[in-house]
Amino acid sequence: MSQPTEPRTTRPTDQRPTLSRRHALGGVAGVGLGLPLLAACGDDSSATDPAGSSGASSGGSPSAAGSEGAEGSGGSGGSSAFASTSDVPVGSGAVFPDEGLVVTQPTEGEFLGFSITCTHQGCPVDSVSDAGISCPCHGSIFDLSSGAPTAGPATSALGSVSLTVDGDEISRA
């Protein structure tokens, strides 16, 4: 019969493991593949905000800026019309994704413009009703007259966008 032997160690206990070339290259390849995937998951809401900071810093309240545009003096605003006044119901509004705008008509003849970018996490708002402007992502609802949040997690108003109404045509001011 053989006698039991003591277990052997393959390396001395005072020597630390070294990083092999294979493991180093594998780590570099993993990082090289992982970074683009992480970047694709990032939030680029600032790049999709059509109102930018100029819409929010126009001075005055959103309703004042929109009212001035609604009264329009017939001057050329430099922008072509993107909607008709008949597209925007009284007491509600309409979303114009290609323009990056929501246009509301809280009262007859008062047309107000807001950015479609929700101030919570940058999702585009997608519908307007008499309850307000709705964001589908987390349930924020914004006031038709001011763009201020009335429900949901958003804490800031939608960016104001000045409009010009000339006859039945709506365009950016």
CB 133 within 8 A of CB 123: no
CB 155 within 8 A of CB 147: no
Q: What is the pLDDT of residue 22?
A: 76
- Which helix (H) or strand (E) segment holds residue 165: the answer is strand 163-166
Mean pLDDT of the chain: 76
| Structural domains of the chain, with CATH | 50-172 (2.102.10.10)
- Tell me the one-letter amino acid at 134: S
**Residue 62: CB partners within 8 Å, gap ≥ 6?**
112, 114, 145, 146, 147, 157, 160
pTM for this predicted structure: 0.56
Q: What is the pLDDT of residue 68?
A: 36
Lowest mean pLDDT among 46-50, 98-102, 129-133: 46-50
CB atoms within 10 A of CB 68: 16
Which residue would you say has higher pLDDT here, 31 or 118? 118
Lowest mean pLDDT among 5-9, 51-55, 90-94, 129-133: 51-55
Residue percentage of the chain with pLDDT more than 90: 53
Q: Provide the pLDDT confidence category of residue 21 given band limits of 50, 70 and 90.
A: confident
Lowest mean pLDDT among 61-75, 120-134, 153-167: 61-75
Q: What is the pLDDT of residue 142?
A: 97
Residue percentage of the chain with pLDDT more than 70: 60
